[in-house]
């Protein structure tokens, strides 16, 4: 008999969730639903998986987009069109969100050339709260408490001074403390002396790529620590579970497979206890 995850054996639960969404989907335009499905795929196939499934990463990048601006005034050339597109994104992201998993659209502080860039971030509210608690000395100086709204927090972080922005993003993206310290100190050294600090990059695979997505800097030629390797192990177990669930979901006939897949994961696995369990037994396939 083919192996499947324990959680997917409760397929009746999935079907109940599926049918409960049918009425909701019928009231939403196909354009919004297709965009939501595309954003769900971008989230799950990249590092956003580690935010939605278990909160290993408190936040993750989903996508970037930009609008043309006037190079003198820095104003958007077509604010009405930008407003319509952002509104559609909000409507689509609302379909992917609940009280724990949410999405934020945040403009980048830096403006380059002839466009203004924005980022879409996914956050795991419980994991963000745990990061704020763990690094409370850093966040309390900014008036940030565990109950601070994540959207307000992420907007504040983007507009922080450079080194504090690096540190805040490092903590929230789920990078180990030693990696955050190294990156901030390297940036400070370069800012002071003009000398670039050489580094290597620790890569953790995601569903659609082995490199370039969940990645952070370490000192050049330094071997990964046990903390780095444990983080990679946890991410690997989560990724393998996702691949098994995805195989089951994509075998079903659906117009919006990744939208439904994200909803299933969000409603059943966003608060799993895997981060505190060494064995990951619940993630292993059973016959």
Residues 6 or more apart whose Cβ sits within 8 Å of residue 107: 116, 117, 118, 119, 158
pTM: predicted TM-score of the whole model, two decimal places: 0.86
Extract the runs of DSSP E, i.e. beta strands, from the chain.
Answer: 59-68, 101-107, 115-124, 199-206, 209-219
Average pLDDT value for residue range 163-176 = 98
How far apart CA 16 and CA 46 sit, in angstroms, is 27
Residues in the chain: 287
As beta bridge partners, residue 206 has 209
Condensed to tens digits (0 to 9), the pLDDT of residues 10-38 reads 444 444 444 445 545 556 789 999 999 99
Return the closest-CA partner of residue 202 out of 231, 234, 236: 231
Condensed to tens digits (0 to 9), the pLDDT of residues 236-282 reads 999 999 999 999 888 888 899 999 999 999 888 767 654 444 433 34
Condensed to tens digits (0 to 9), the pLDDT of residues 174-190 reads 999 999 999 999 999 99
The better pLDDT of the pair 18, 136 is held by 136
Q: Where are the domains of the chain?
A: 6-270
Residues 6 or more apart whose Cβ sits within 8 Å of residue 279: none
- In a 10 Å sphere around its CB, with 0-12 CB exposed, 13-18 middle and 19+ buried, how is residue 251 labelled? exposed
């Amino acid at each position: 008999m083919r192996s499947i995850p324990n959680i997917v054996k409760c397929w009746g639960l999935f079907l109940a969730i599926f049918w409960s969404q049918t009425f909701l989907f019928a009231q939403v335009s196909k354009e919004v639903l297709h965009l939501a499905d595309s954003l769900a795929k971008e989230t799950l196939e990249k590092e956003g998986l580690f935010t939605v499934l278990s909160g290993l990463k408190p936040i993750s990048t989903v996508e970037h987009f930009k609008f043309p601006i006037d190079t003198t005034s820095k104003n958007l050339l077509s604010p009405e069109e930008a407003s319509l597109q952002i509104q559609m994104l909000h409507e689509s992201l609302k379909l992917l969100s609940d009280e724990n998993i949410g999405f934020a659209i945040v403009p980048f502080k830096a403006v380059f050339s002839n466009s203004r860039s924005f980022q879409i971030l996914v956050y795991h509210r419980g994991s963000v709260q745990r990061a704020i608690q763990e690094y409370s000395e850093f966040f309390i100086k900014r008036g940030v408490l565990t109950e601070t709204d994540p959207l307000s927090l992420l907007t504040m972080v983007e507009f922080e001074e450079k080194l504090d922005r690096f540190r805040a993003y490092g903590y929230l993206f789920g990078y180990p403390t030693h990696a955050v310290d190294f990156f901030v100190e390297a940036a400070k050294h370069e800012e002071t002396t003009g000398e670039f600090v050489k580094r290597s990059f620790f890569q953790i695979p995601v569903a659609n790529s082995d490199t370039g997505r969940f990645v952070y800097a370490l000192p050049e030629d330094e071997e990964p620590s046990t903390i780095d390797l444990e983080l990679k192990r946890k991410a690997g177990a989560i990724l393998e579970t996702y691949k098994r669930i995805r195989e089951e979901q994509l075998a079903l006939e659906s117009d919006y497979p990744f939208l439904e897949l994200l909803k299933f994961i969000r409603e059943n696995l966003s608060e799993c206890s895997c981060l505190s369990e060494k064995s990951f037994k619940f993630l292993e396939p059973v016959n």
